[in-house]
Amino acid sequence: MRARVYVTLKPSVFDPQGRVVADALLSLGYEDVKDVRQGKFFEVELDGGDPATAEARVTEMAEKLLANPVIESYRVELLRS
Amino acid sequence: MTFAVVVFPGSNSDRDAAEAARVLGERARLVWHKDTELGEADAVILPGGFAHGDYLRTGAIARFSPIMGAVADFAERGGPVLGICNGFQVLLEAGLLPGAMVRNRDIKFRCEFVPVRVDQVDTPFTSACAPGQVLHLPIAHGEGNYYAPPDVVESLEANRQVIFRYTDRSGAMTEGSNPNGSVHAIAGICNAARNVVGLMPHPERACEAPLGSDDGRIVLASAAEAIRDGRFRARPAAAASR
């Protein structure tokens, strides 16, 4: 079973890298860009076939390690393939 | 007295810290991160650098180093622990200090001398300072932008846990004197028990005048003095296990 974890800085935390990327996009002429938030993406491969267990375990992993809950939020997505 | 300096793979200020202790006439021992005991130690230093390559987040992997159990135990027993730069980031990720680091506000890696004001002198690493004393210390970091949620910052301020702040040379906080965007210009904090201190500037790199400043001596000298007169000492391990 595979899961995807998306980690981004919380909306309340300023993202200097995202801001620089947004400015670069504006420089390229994409004047409709209002903001960019940069984040991290993890693909986790797991043993076991029960989706509910897998989701619970990956959520726990995100909480304990993949994200720092002080500054980051995360989203877990299960791949049913 | 003896400073135990923890060496992580990727530490680069470990020998600077040990040398700073020797400059003061104190002993320093390097302790490998895979060790599980600190051995002889009156104070512990987590040095600057890029522990474990800063993979995932700065300090995020170092908290799993085997030595960190002994460091947490030493801190719990009231032993003085100083995290410098990357060592501060490790203390944050390990939960020994509150908050987190994000990229510097202007994205740049800042490597320069800055004025740093000592706001509280009742910690082992500032006890020899005068309140409000401004130290001339080097910084060298890309992720020193201290962040904590507003309620945490409020409690840090209320409990006088903000120990060091970025200011101008006169000790005034100005728009231009904050090099990285840290909330409340925070350069260093302590825990509630006041024995664990973390700061982004490098006092150990400013212990001899030819290096540009010897203002940093007072940080380790404070610890040496505070430990000798018994103000900050780790309680014996047996007492803490109850």
Q: What is the pLDDT of residues B62-88, one digit of tens each?
A: 999 999 999 999 999 999 999 999 999
Domain count, chain A: 1
Residue bearing tokens 């690493």:
B125
Write the burial class of residue B105 (CB in 10 Å: 0-12 exposed, 13-18 middle, 19+ buried). Answer: middle
* CATH at residue A21: 3.30.1280.10
A19 to chain B, minimum CA–CA distance in Å?
Answer: 10
d(CA B26, CA B2): 6
Look up B202 and say whether it is catalytic.
Answer: yes
Mean pLDDT score across all residues of chain B: 95
Q: Which domains does chain B have, with CATH numbers?
A: 2-240 (3.40.50.880)
> Would the CB atoms of A20 and B107 count as touching at under 8 Å?
yes
pLDDT in tens, B14-57: 999 999 999 999 999 999 999 999 999 999 999 999 999 999 99
Q: Which residues of chain A have pLDDT under 70?
A: 81
Give A-chain residues touching B106 at CB under 8 angstroms: 16
Choice among B85, B129, B190, B207 that is catalytic? B85
For residue B66, what pLDDT is reported? 96
Look up B141 and say whether it is catalytic.
Answer: no
Which tokens in the block code for residue A46? 């797991």
Q: Which residues span the domain enclosing A50?
A: 2-79
Look up B85 and say whether it is catalytic.
Answer: yes
3-state secondary structure chain B: CEEEEEECCCECCHHHHHHHHHHCCCEEEEEECCCCCCCCCCEEEECCECHHHHCCCCCCCHHHCCHHHHHHHHHHCCCCEEEECHHHHHHHHCCCCCCEEECCCCCCCEEEEEEEEECCCCCCCCCCCCCCCEEEEEEEECCCEEECCHHHHHHHHHCCCEEEEECCCCCCCCHHHCCCCCHHHEEEEECCCCCEEEECCCHHHCCEHHHCECCCHHHHHHHHHHHHCCCCCCCCHHHHCC
Read off the pLDDT of each residue in B94-103 and give the average, rounded to a whole number.
96
pLDDT in tens, B114-150: 999 999 999 999 999 999 999 999 999 999 999 999 9
Model confidence at B240: pLDDT above 60: no
pLDDT in tens, B149-206: 999 999 999 999 999 999 999 999 998 999 999 999 999 999 999 999 999 999 999 9
